[in-house]
């Protein structure tokens, strides 16, 4: 069975402190959903487009588990805690078997 991944790119994080409540809620929600953080992207070497945005990569045992974790009540509460105007590019990706 193919694994599932959450990939989040943060184009700009001018006020990282504003994410504290989100992180406090999202971390336990992700772990409860079976997610494991592989990278928080503090160090990025960029090629081609040259964009060194922060990237967070989380692994799940299956694509379905990744989708279910995102849709969970606990993670939806975390999303509400994202600050107004906060920008991120979030994707759920199916891995290769």
pLDDT in tens, 50-94: 777 788 999 999 999 999 999 999 999 999 988 877 788 899 999
The pLDDT confidence band at residue 20, using thresholds 50, 70 and 90, is confident
The residue-averaged pLDDT of 25-34 equals 96
* Long-range pairs, 32-40, Cβ under 8 A, ≥24: 32/69, 32/72, 32/74, 33/60, 33/65, 33/66, 33/68, 33/69, 33/70, 33/72, 33/74, 33/75, 34/60, 34/61, 34/65, 34/69, 35/6, 35/59, 35/60, 35/66, 35/69, 36/60
More confident residue, 61 or 21: 61
Give the residue numbers spanning the domain of 68.
4-94
CATH code of 32's domain: 3.30.70.100
Structurally, the chain folds into a number of domains equal to 1
Arithmetic mean of pLDDT, 33-51: 85
């Amino acid at each position: 069975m193919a694994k599932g991944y959450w990939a989040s790119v943060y184009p700009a994080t001018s006020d990282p402190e504003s994410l504290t409540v989100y992180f406090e809620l999202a971390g336990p929600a992700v772990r409860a959903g079976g997610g494991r953080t592989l990278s928080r992207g503090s160090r990025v070497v960029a090629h081609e487009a040259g964009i060194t945005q922060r990237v967070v990569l989380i692994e799940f045992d299956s694509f379905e588990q990744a989708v279910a974790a995102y849709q969970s009540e606990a993670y939806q509460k975390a999303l509400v805690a994202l600050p107004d105007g906060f920008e991120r590019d979030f994707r759920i990706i199916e891995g290769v078997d």
